[in-house]
Structure 1
């Protein structure tokens, strides 16, 4: 549930945006990319979002269906344009983003609580949302209502409510405002995922272990803290796992986190050990980082397993057999 847009990415690599001459057009928006990634791993997915009533909105519906993502909960907003996101691709680590059509608001921030299918939200194996969805009304109230539709004490074994701590400062008045909204939603969350900066906004600065512990204290059952070049750490009340990064030549790092998220969902639903989930999700993110686009670049299970095997990190046979 949350952001969707059209990604306008350059075909010219290593060139400043002002000097790019040709672009490609792709489905974008972090939660939508996560749904595409999970669908690529064979999961049944739907997105709750809104677009403009324009050709770009039509394009996004078509792309969602192409990737096997249910678009029945994607509606148009009269008078607003579908957002577009431009980036420059300056490997190995400079990928600036420029958001258009999101200010002062965007269609996906017009999701309203009264249009939610609460039964579908309640019954989903995983409900995924991001902090960006809490940045503005009516989206904020809709996200709260969606989380309240998934009572913690009524979740079945194998059901998870995941919050991507995806903090983008341009969408907020201040870090304090974001922290307040995250604090209000965390009691409904079973899994929280974020990098150092995102965790700092959510629960304050500290070491990755301190941040994970604060997330656990807030009620989360699995705290995932991305460690950048050192990989990723996940912590529960009884387990701490660190997965080393899977080295690749980075071409565009923007979709790696979304690929990680979709693969993480796949592993959770498959019931894999936490260590296997992290290795698989890391490899998924690495593959997308080595490609230009985001949604179109999401890997298949065969590609992920092949990369892990190439790096000498094949998953256990019992895990590999799960599709």
Structure 2
């Protein structure tokens, strides 16, 4: 099986409240969606017309079956989805405090199913032949998963690799541990992408441009800093592009970066110019930020065209309820 975009890492169930502006103890209604950043990125790439697959692991339970069925429904190949005996599929709850506060509450085995994957669980031929390999930082947080990721990097033999920094404190003992583990592989990455906090953790720098330059100095060909309401910055050896955010009414910002990532992978494969790619990435992120769901909300190319034509994301009425306790 040859795919355009191959991701590896987290998958699970997102349980998101239908009430905004309240903490979980006051939530009365939850909806469930496919979740996990690498799964979301695979969906986002599929929505751009790319063949995509995800390497991940789930438990032998109802949530694991949900993950498989949703991946398939949303156009992602599941041949790399392993059912891990004795493990439970991860579930993630969030709280909604737009525009920029969305606390996550992880309910996961320790280690989570995907972090138990070894190189023996992975078809390195599929890894070698994929158009783009998409890795995430948490994959380097456990020994077995780290070894599997290093095997995948070796199998690529110079073919494009993207590292999504995807820093989550729940996976690391400290930011310094994450920085050390990520630092070991930066020289092998063609593209490194992360939000401002993730880039700060990876580099020790605070200014977004200093972060991007540090990533380039470490060996990346392209560094992309997602800046949320401030847009995005992309830096290569000979080009700098900074774009503002596309206006939208934020409902849930958690999936915006994954939509950004799926379009970034698509743009790399399409050979687009950096500014064109970044503009469409920013638009995709804004579209998903204006929705409650992550994976099911990933936009098509036509939807991105439309919001770029308008210059903003139209608000959708009636899909989200604001309450107070």
TM-score in terms of structure 1 length: 0.92
The CA deviation string for residues 201-250 of structure 1, in whole angstroms up to 9 with x for no partner, is 11112322221111111111000012332211111111111111101000
Output the CA distance in 2 between the equivalents of 1:42 and 1:99: 31
Q: Are the structure 2 counterparts of residues 275 and 15 from structure 1 closer, same or farther at C-alpha, using a change threshold of 3 Å?
A: same
Alpha-carbon separation, structure 2, partners of 1:226 and 1:284: 12
Q: Which residue in 1 is equivalent to 2:191?
A: 191
Give the 5 Å matches for 1:157-306.
Answer: 160-306=160-306
| 2:123 paired with 1:124 | no
Instruction: Measure, in 2, the Cα distance between the counterparts of 1:116 and 1:259.
Output: 25
| 1: CA distance, partners of 2:92 / 2:182 | 25
Measure the CA separation in 2 of the matches of 1:214 and 1:13. Answer: 38
Cα distance between partner residues in 2 of 1:210 and 1:65 = 40
Q: Note the C-alpha offset of 1:312.
A: 8.3
The alpha carbon displacement at 1:178 in A equals: 0.8
1: distance between equivalents of 2:179 and 2:138?
12
Q: What SS is found at the alignment partner of 1:39?
A: helix
Give the match for residue 119 of structure 2. Answer: 113
Give the structure 1 partner of residue 140 of structure 2.
Answer: 134
Q: What is the TM-score when the length of structure 2 is the normalising length?
A: 0.92
Aligned equivalent of 2:39? 32
Write the distance in 2 (CA, Å) between the matches of 1:130 and 1:121.
Answer: 15
Residues 141/248 of structure 1: CA separation in 2 closer, same or farther (3 Å cut): same
RMSD: 1.3
Q: Equivalent residue for 2:81?
A: 74
Unaligned stretches of 5+ residues in structure 2: 1-7, 314-325
**2:18/2:30 contact within 8 Å kept:** yes
Equivalent of residue 147 in structure 1, options 122, 143, 153:
153
Distance in 2 between residues matched to 1:285 and 1:241, nearest whole Å: 17
Give 2:25's match in structure 1, choosing from 18, 23, 40: 18
2:9 corresponds to which of 2, 6, 22: 2
Distance in 2 between the 1:295 and 1:196 partners?
22
Tell me which moved more, 141-150 or 285-294. Answer: 141-150
Distance 2:94 2:305 in 1: 30
How far the C-alpha of 1:2 sits from its partner, in A, is 0.3
**Shift in Å, 1:288:** 0.3
Counterpart for residue 42 of structure 1: 49
Give per-residue Cα distances to partners, 1:43-102, cap 9 Å, x unaligned: 000000100011111111101100110000101111111010001122222211100024
Maintained 8 Å contact 1:151/1:188? no
Runs of 5+ consecutive residues of structure 1 not aligned to the other structure: 314-323
The residue matched to 1:25 in structure 2 has which SS?
strand
Between stretches 180-189 and 272-281, larger displacement belongs to: 180-189
Of 101, 108, 125, the residue aligned with 2:108 is 101
For the 8 Å contact 2:247–2:312, the answer to whether it is kept is no
Aligned equivalents of 1:203, 1:240: Cα separation in 2: 19
**Distance in 1 between the 2:180 and 2:103 partners?**
27
Instruction: State how far apart, in whole Å, the 2-side matches of 1:24 and 1:229 are.
Output: 26
Matched residues in 2 for 1:234 and 1:15: separation?
35
